[in-house]
C-alpha cells in the first residue's frame, strides 16, 4: 500500500520561512503534488515534482528526492493568509489514476 | 470559466436513508475523482473516472457506495442505507487529462447522518 507522513501542525512567524516535510512509502512512485486548503474551503493545487530538485513558484517552492522518498514545501515571506492546511499527495506509476493524500499539516502563521 | 460545482452544499439525512451527491466537472476535463474528508483529516480516495474507461472503484469503503458518470461529464455519488460514520465532506475534483497531478476541486458536500 501507500503511506505518507507529514507533521500535523507547524507554527511560524509572519515574514519568516517555513518548511513542511513529507515522506512517503509507495509502490511505483510517479510524482508528488502539494495542495493548500483553508478552513472550510476546497483544496487548491500549489506545485508538482516528478523529478529530483527544487521547483519554485513565487513565494512557494517544492523539493523532491526520489532516492530518499522525501519532499518538502517551502513557504517564504510568510503572510497571515498562508495559515491553512497543506497536503502532499502522491501519484503512482502510470499517472495519477489513484492519488493518495497525506493527512495534512496545519500551518498557523502568527504576528 | 466555471469551476467544479457540487450539490447540495449541505445534506442532513437520517440513518438508513439513501443520498445522492452531484458533481459537475470543468467542461472538457476527462478525469473525475471523488474523495471523502472527515473533520481535521486528510482526503480519502473513493473513485476515479477517466474518459470512457472503466472506473477505478478501489477506494469505495463498502458496497453501499456507488458512483456513475454520465456522458463523460456529470457524476453522481450514491450512498445507500447511510450510517453515522458516513458523515464527512465529500469532495469532487476534475483534471484535464491523464497527467492528473493538478486537480481542480469543487466546494464539497457536507453530509451529516443523524
Kindly report, residue by residue over A23-48, the tens digit of the pLDDT: 999 877 788 999 999 998 999 999 99
**Residue A111: predicted pLDDT:** 96
For the segment A66-98, what is each residue's pLDDT rounded down to a tens digit?
999 999 999 999 999 999 999 999 887 665 567
Alpha-carbon torsion angle B11, B12, B14, B17, nearest 10? -10
Q: Which of A41, A96, A102 sits opposite B100 (nearest CB)?
A: A96
Q: Model confidence over B39-48: pLDDT tens digits?
A: 878 899 999 9
Tens-place pLDDT, residues A1-23? 678 999 999 999 999 999 999 99
User: What's the gap in Å between the CA of A47 and the closest CA on chain B?
Assistant: 8
Q: Helix, strand or coil for residue A1?
A: coil
Distance CA A47, CA A73 (A): 9
Residues in contact with B53: Cβ distance below 8 Å, sequence separation at least 6, in sequence order:
none
> Inter-chain contact B103–A87, Cβ cutoff 8 Å?
no
Angle at A36 between CA A33 and CA A41, to 5 degrees: 135
- Interchain CB distance below 8 Å, B42 and A42: no
Amino acid at each position: 500500500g501507500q503511506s505518507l507522513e507529514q507533521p500535523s501542525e507547524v507554527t511560524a512567524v509572519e515574514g519568516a520561512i517555513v518548511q513542511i516535510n513529507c515522506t512517503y512509502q509507495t509502490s511505483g512512485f510517479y510524482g508528488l503534488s502539494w495542495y493548500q486548503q483553508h478552513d472550510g474551503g476546497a483544496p487548491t493545487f500549489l506545485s508538482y515534482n516528478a523529478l529530483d530538485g527544487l521547483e519554485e513558484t513565487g513565494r512557494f517552492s517544492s523539493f523532491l528526492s526520489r532516492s530518499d522518498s522525501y519532499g518538502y514545501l517551502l513557504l517564504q515571506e510568510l503572510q497571515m493568509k498562508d495559515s491553512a492546511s497543506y497536503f502532499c499527495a502522491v501519484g503512482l506509476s502510470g499517472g495519477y489514476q489513484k492519488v493518495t493524500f497525506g493527512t495534512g499539516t496545519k500551518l498557523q502563521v502568527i504576528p | 470559466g466555471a469551476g467544479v460545482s457540487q450539490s447540495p452544499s449541505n445534506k442532513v439525512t437520517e440513518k438508513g436513508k439513501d443520498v445522492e451527491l452531484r458533481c459537475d466537472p470543468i467542461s472538457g476535463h476527462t478525469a473525475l475523482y471523488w474523495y471523502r474528508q472527515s473533520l481535521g483529516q486528510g482526503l480519502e480516495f473513493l473513485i476515479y473516472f477517466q474518459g470512457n474507461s472503466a472506473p477505478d472503484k478501489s477506494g469505495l469503503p463498502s458496497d453501499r457506495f456507488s458512483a456513475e458518470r454520465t456522458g463523460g461529464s456529470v457524476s453522481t455519488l450514491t450512498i445507500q442505507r447511510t450510517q453515522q460514520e458516513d458523515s464527512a465532506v465529500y469532495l469532487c475534483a476534475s483534471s484535464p487529462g491523464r497527467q492528473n497531478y493538478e486537480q481542480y476541486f469543487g466546494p464539497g458536500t457536507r453530509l451529516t447522518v443523524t
